[in-house]
Amino acid sequence: MDRLKSMEVFVAVVDDKSLTAAASKLDISRSMATRHINALEESLGVKLLYRSTRNLVLTSNGEELVPFCREILKQSEMLYHVAQHQHSALEGKIALASSISFGQLYLAQSVERFLERHPNVSIELHIFDKPVDAIKEGVDIAIEGGNRLPDQLIGRRLADFPSVICATPEYINTHEPIREPQDLTQHNCLVHKKLGQVWSFTDKGNAKNGLSVKVKSNYTVNDTTILLKATLSSRGLCCLPVPDVRDYIESGLLTTVLDEYHVNQFGIWALYASRHYQPKLHKAFLDFLVDDLKHASRGV
């Protein structure tokens, strides 16, 4: 068992002169409090308390060890506060890389929010129009979207963005209705290369009811901004992560179809060369992105 927690239980029992009261204060059961005391006694090799149904008395060994336990708990609390201070006082530099679309649509704003919290940090953001090789480009972390992890890199999946299928109201109103995923085969679908022409569907009401549809397309592109422009020109339907199209949907420029299905989850990855040593600053930034992406990945 956690020896530090057992010491906390022991000190609480001594202060409250009751196993029941100590357990209540620490929000654990009386039996769990007893287990902690037994584990601490076994670990130290001494009897700390004489316990009966009505009385609880410190042994001589227990009296001698209580001050040490109090000091250890105090030092542990101080260690926690020092660590928290170090986290809030992050400093250093991170070299980041991202695709143009993700960098412009999301990452740049996220970086600004992180820098507001940590003014002693500097970030160098590189935007590329192609998949980023973190090793070749000499960056610390590459933020990429997709569902496949490059073989030569280590990755941490930061989030899963839900995708939606959408088109302009003009396109929807002038083409065959779309009631089932298979109806997409009668439409022109504008394809992002990373998602491909096979679109996967899962019924929101029945997770076991899934299917894949190979869509027809006369336009495949590896850039979200270009794909959006083509969609807004009513050239067809697109399937893109929610953050990329949310503003257009909320403004009425785009309309979603097949809303009763989950479509093509899109992973957001942090890619780096090695997991053996990751600076505290890098880990703090990635932890921040995980929380920050939760807001971006909400549905529409």
**Is 90 in contact with 280 (CB distance < 8 Å)?**
yes
User: In the chain, how many H helices and how many E strands?
Assistant: 11, 13
| Residue 115 φ then ψ, to 5° | -65, -30
- Determine the pLDDT at residue 279: 84
- Determine the pLDDT at residue 201: 92
Q: How far apart are CA 292 and CA 159, in angstroms?
A: 10
Domains of the chain: 3-87 (1.10.10.10), 93-300 (3.40.190.290)
Residues in a beta bridge with 157: 269
C-alpha gyration radius of the chain: 28
- The number of beta carbons lying within 10 Å of the beta carbon of residue 258 is 20
Task: Specify the length of the chain in residues.
Answer: 300
- Determine the pLDDT at residue 148: 64
Q: How far apart are CA 260 and CA 84, in angstroms?
A: 44
> What residue ranges of the chain have pLDDT lower than 70?
53, 81-88, 130-136, 147-153, 274-277, 296-300
- Determine the pLDDT at residue 265: 78
Q: How far apart are CA 137 and CA 12, in angstroms?
A: 56
Which amino acid makes up residue 39? A
Residue 138 CB partners (closer than 8 Å, separation 6+): 95
- Determine the pLDDT at residue 111: 95
**Residue 147, CA distances (Å) to 144, 158, 194, 196, 240 in order:** 10, 12, 8, 11, 13
- pTM of the predicted structure, to 2 decimals: 0.59
Distance of CA 32 to the CA centre of its chain: 33
Q: How far apart are CA 171 and CA 237, in angstroms?
A: 8
Decide the pairing of beta strands 188-192 and 237-241: parallel
